[in-house]
Amino acid sequence: MNKKPQLSLETAVSHIKNGDTILVGGFGMTGNPVHLLHALAETAVRDLTYVANNVGEPGLGGGRLLRNGQIKKAIGSFFTSNREAVAAAQSGAMEVELIPQGSLAEAMRAAGAGIGGFYTPTAAGTVLAEGKETKMINGVLHVFQPALRGNVALIRAWRADEAGNLVYRMTEQNFNKAMATAADLVIAEVEEIVPLGALDPNEIHTPGCYVDFLVQAHTTLDDLGSSASIDGGAKKAGDVRMVMAERALQELKPGDVVNLGVGIPTLVADLITPEHGIILHTENGMLGVGPAPEAGGAMEYPVNAGKIPVTALPGSSYFDSADSFAMIRGGHVDVAIMGGLQVDEAGNLANWAVPGKPLLGVGGAMDLASGAKKLIITMTHASREGEAKIVPECTLPLTALGAVDMIITDLAVFAFVDGQLTLLELMPGVTLAEVEGKTTAVFSNALA
């Protein structure tokens, strides 16, 4: 077996030129080639197209490139968490192209497989589909997503052998595995390089034929940013948000594969016990998510889609983002519980953008909304300004068409029964008049 060249950080990034499209692995700050990015930030390279789920935290990894003005365009699914990315987009200093998280991963997997693109129901009917080719397939509207290839891929693996075979650690496969196949030149930053034969061929995630150069660099707590340790914030029993979470839990059955969105849905995880028999899925690449560890962080544990360290239950499995969203689109996730900004009489959902604010954070919401077998929305019944959130027609940018099955609010529970928005329950202490006064959508009343 030929041995791959082992380079210094400085020599490795010297292969990146002005105007290159770079694919950058990682989810949050885990599995992120942060040392390569910091080395690149020390160069004069400019006008980069930066392809990643996000650009990282301010001042760390891709955040340094952004701060330096080295990124001309960013292509990804979620940049809202970096305030500097938001400011750069607002000022026009950086162009942004949003792609739903699952479509982003699949676009690179397609490029690596020599496929020109694919049709997906994700984002159909939304602003992210504007200008793209659409097609009805089996009665469902699909959007064409072109493949996405880079000049250089910067990826992070836990271990490599001298032939360039790579092994990832826990949820650090994320985008790295697909990106390793989808660039003209692949540079792998790794924690450890071992001799030929030291890796079990059965455990290799990325074969060495995809990798051009290896760079050894050790991860530290500082490299992980906000994922370095857990947030021990306690949840109060009886809080109205916990009441909604408890009601959502009642909809889950033993054996269900369940994905929980950020916000109120994450509280459901605090209520799940082994006796429930529920299998939690996180879109960055894990099935069988357990509770947060009592201590420690991403150096010792996997992280979930909220970038929070979690434990792995017996029988858990890890995989990359492309496989994770294949599970979602393929109907292998039974229930998704997500937050919402608006739901309308047709079951359309809006939960990712507000006019007047930069549209920088779609994440995996569109994939989950259109792919899960059952979609439950948990949200307050009205906005902070008192405006109804269950409306005749969504006025905010759509996440998915006709996808919602159930709505759980602080006032009531609704479901779509034979396509009709129907009131099923009132929350304790709530009157029908209160619900009617804060709902502008027309609904049937199963309580009557």
Q: Which residues are catalytic?
A: 283
Given a contact cutoff of 8 angstroms between Cβ atoms, the answer to whether 11 and 40 are in contact is no
Structure-block tokens of residue 47: 């006008």
Q: Which of 52, 60, 57 is nearest to 36 (CA)?
A: 60
Tokens encoding 12: 């490795």
Burial class (CB in 10 A: 0-12, 13-18, 19+), 426: middle
Q: Using DSSP, state whether 52 is helix, strand or coil.
A: coil
CB–CB of 391/109 below 8 Å? no
Residue 196: Cβ within 10 Å count:
13
Residue 184 vs residues 74, 148, 165: alpha-carbon distances, Å: 19, 12, 17
Report d(CA 198, CA 58) in Å as an integer: 38
In 213-299, alpha helices (H): 240-249, 264-271
Tokens at 198, concatenated: 């030291």
**405, HSE (Cβ side, Cα atoms, 13 Å):** 16
As a whole number of angstroms, the distance between CA 62 and CA 68 comes to 10
d(Cα 252, Cα 268) in Å, to the nearest integer?
A: 10
Find out whether 325 and 340 touch, Cβ atoms under 8 Å: no
Distance in angstroms (rounded) separating the CA atoms of residues 225 and 346: 42
Angle between helices 101-112 and 321-329 (to 10 degrees): 120
Give me the numbers of helices (H) and strands (E) for the chain, helices first please: 11, 24
How many other β-carbons are positioned within 10 Å of the β-carbon of residue 444?
14
